[in-house]
């Protein structure tokens, strides 16, 4: 008697039990090396567009809703605002060199990176060569189209050296 009763009780208990919860899938492993290389490639494209005096190429590296904070300018939010500051600078200067040197990269995921570092940018304005030395902090995102773009940029020059 004990056997059939125990089997029946077990069947009822199993029928009333909540369904087993499947464990959540683990997020994909972060490809730190791949993400870091992708950001280095973005900076290479930035330097290429900058020294080609191509504001459209530079602007394409920013998210549609990016924010840029730089001394002497109001906060630029969105590509149109960035463009309204960027384009006049390209009209009055001939950019000859841009070197971006990361000092710290924090890869938060395969689609989000924070980075800080230094930059050196040389240009000719009114027939005088100048080199600006500065620092930056930025947020970069991999967007739905698979392209990495700048979503936030804070840049501040430390000094500008003018050559005669």
For CA atoms 133, 136, 141, 143, give the dihedral sign.
negative
pLDDT value for 25: 78
Q: Is 136 inside a domain boundary?
A: yes
pLDDT value for 18: 67
pLDDT value for 61: 98
Q: Is 22 inside a domain boundary?
A: no
Q: Is 110 inside a domain boundary?
A: yes
What HEC string does 107-132 produce? EEECCEEEEEEEEEEEEEECCEEEEE
Q: Is 75 inside a domain boundary?
A: yes
Q: Is 15 inside a domain boundary?
A: no
pTM above 0.85, yes or no: no
Task: Please give the full DSSP string across 73-116, using - where no structure is assigned.
Answer: SPPEESHHHHHHHHHHHHHH-EEEEEEEEEEEEEEEETTEEEEE
Total of domains in the chain? 1
Mode of pairing for the β-strands spanning 62-69 and 148-162: parallel
Range of the domain at 149: 30-162
**Residue-wise pLDDT tens for the chain (164 aa)?**
466 666 655 656 556 666 667 777 777 799 999 999 999 999 999 999 999 999 999 999 999 999 999 998 899 999 999 999 999 999 999 999 999 999 999 999 999 999 999 999 999 999 999 999 999 999 999 999 999 999 999 999 998 777 75
pLDDT value for 20: 66
pLDDT value for 24: 75
> What is the helix (H) or strand (E) element at residue 62, kind and residue range?
strand 62-69
pLDDT value for 28: 79
Question: 156: which DSSP letter?
Answer: E
pLDDT value for 104: 96
Q: Residue 103 belongs to a domain with what CATH number? A: 3.10.450.50
Do 134 and 119 meet the contact criterion of CB atoms below 8 Å apart?
Answer: yes
For 155, the token pair is: 């840049």
> What is the helix (H) or strand (E) element at residue 155, kind and residue range?
strand 148-162
């Amino acid at each position: 008697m004990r056997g059939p009763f125990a089997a029946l009780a077990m069947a009822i208990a199993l029928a009333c039990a909540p369904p087993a919860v499947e464990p959540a899938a683990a997020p994909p492993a972060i490809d730190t090396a791949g993400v870091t290389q992708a950001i280095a490639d973005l900076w290479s494209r930035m330097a290429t567009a900058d020294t080609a005096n191509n504001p459209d190429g530079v602007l394409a590296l920013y998210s549609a809703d990016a924010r840029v904070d730089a001394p002497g300018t109001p906060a630029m939010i969105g590509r149109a605002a960035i463009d309204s500051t960027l384009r006049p600078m390209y009209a009055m200067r001939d950019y000859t060199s841009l070197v971006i040197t990361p000092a710290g990269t924090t890869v938060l995921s395969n689609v989000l990176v924070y980075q800080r570092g230094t930059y050196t940018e040389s240009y000719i304005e009114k027939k005088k060569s100048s080199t600006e030395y500065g620092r930056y902090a930025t947020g970069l995102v991999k967007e739905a189209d698979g392209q990495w773009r700048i979503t936030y940029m804070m840049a501040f020059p430390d000094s500008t050296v003018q050559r005669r």
